[in-house]
Amino acid sequence: MAQEVRGEFYDLLAARGVTRRDFMKFCGSVAAVIGLSEVYAPQIASAIAAGTLQPALWLAHGLCTGCTESMAQIGVPDVPTIVLDLLSVNYWETVMAAAGTQAEDNITATVDKGGYIVIVEGSVMTGQGGNVLRIAGKPGVDELKEVCSKAKAVIAVGSCAVDGGWVAGDPNPAKATGVQAYLAQNGIKTPVVNLPTCPVNPEWVVSVLVDYLLVGALPPLNEFNEPKSLYSETIHDNCPRRGHFENGEFVQFGSADQTAQEAAGFCLYQMGCKGPQTKTTCPLVRWNRRVSWCVESGSPCIGCGTADPLKGGPGNWVDAGTPFLSRLADTRLPGIGGVQPSTIGAVVGGVAAAGLVVHGVVSASKGRIKGVPQESEKKFDSKNKSSEGGDK
């Protein structure tokens, strides 16, 4: 039974220029993100209002602050920020006013009280005994272990927190890795929710927190500890360019028709798009206040949502996916073996061939493909300098 949304909560919203209508609209969109009908908006509103005492700590480790920046780009009036305020985020180094001892005291007080959630942004840098990143005069990993071991749950936001991300790319001098792997290595059993993409989508963070407040438990997770509601369908499944893929209409880099192909919104598969093997709701939720997303703005998906918590360090999604804007090395679509994108471009115009490729992609989407083996293709490219997206 939904609780009554408190009057003072709406007073707080009004003081920030947020109407009840805005707020209920926001709750409806959160419902959609977590896979519920919009009729659940009132329950979500009640859950948010009741969440005022839920303390949270936002830790910053090996990062570029892009995820915090992403959180800051979520609309004016910034309802999600209000949600985070109401969640009582007691420590968020990048944005908080407090500094030094006062800031660190916030962590200590929160940990001592217990019953808090930890949000981790950035990779865990384990190099030099954890001294690659020192926080409050101690190895950063010491703070991470202390805070996470006593938390109710840990939310790893952004691909760096999931598998080490850019920081962990080969040769990984800081010995960076992901949060889940690091906690497991240190015998810490606090449940971890992973929200990969670079940066994290702010609506996903809010939706997980709301889900937690709404039902008092973490959302159902897949084998990568990602919320099933956010990471089940491939980008390719929901891509507005999908019709062009099926028609064999591709943007071809360097082609005389490239400008016209781009203007027509052709598929970016031959440009290296990793939408077929990347499972996120980017095409549905979009970015920057729902204005657009990578493929819609003309860039192939680089697969940042494929970060694998069990593959931290070299070989992670960054190493597996580069060079991002070049062709995929080997699509390995089930049913048709290893096929180069240009090959697909050449043959997909035929109905039978298109059916074969689409069948392969659909099959591939049923099992998540973690990155695409590319090393052999990099060697191939180094011997064939003129091959710009072509198949030899």
Binding positions for ligand SF4, rule: CB under 6 A: 197, 235-236, 239, 241-242, 245, 267-269, 273, 275-276, 278, 280, 282, 293-295, 301-305
Give whichever of 34 and 294 is closer to ligand SF4, judged by the CB atom.
294
Smallest gap from Cβ 362 to ligand SF4, in A, equals 11
In contact, 249 and 267? CB cutoff 8 Å: yes
Smallest gap from Cβ 288 to ligand SF4, in A, equals 11
The amino acid sitting at 208 is V
d(CA 114, CA 120): 17
Smallest gap from Cβ 236 to ligand SF4, in A, equals 4
Cβ-closest residue to ligand SF4?
275
Give whichever of 50 and 361 is closer to ligand SF4, judged by the CB atom.
361
Q: Is the dihedral of CA 345, 349, 352, 358 positive or negative?
A: positive
Give whichever of 51 and 360 is closer to ligand SF4, judged by the CB atom.
360
Summary count for the chain: helices (H), strands (E): 18, 9
**Helical H runs in 66-157?**
66-72, 79-86, 100-113, 140-149
Give whichever of 119 and 235 is closer to ligand SF4, judged by the CB atom.
235
Smallest gap from Cβ 62 to ligand SF4, in A, equals 19
Smallest gap from Cβ 272 to ligand SF4, in A, equals 9
**Pairs from 27-31 (Cβ < 8 Å, separation ≥ 24):** 29/203, 30/203, 30/206, 30/207, 30/210
d(CA 157, CA 201): 9
Give whichever of 111 and 208 is closer to ligand SF4, judged by the CB atom.
208
Give whichever of 120 and 361 is closer to ligand SF4, judged by the CB atom.
361
Smallest gap from Cβ 68 to ligand SF4, in A, equals 16
Query: Assign residue 288 a region: left if phi > 0, alpha if psi is -120 to 50, beta otherwise?
Result: left
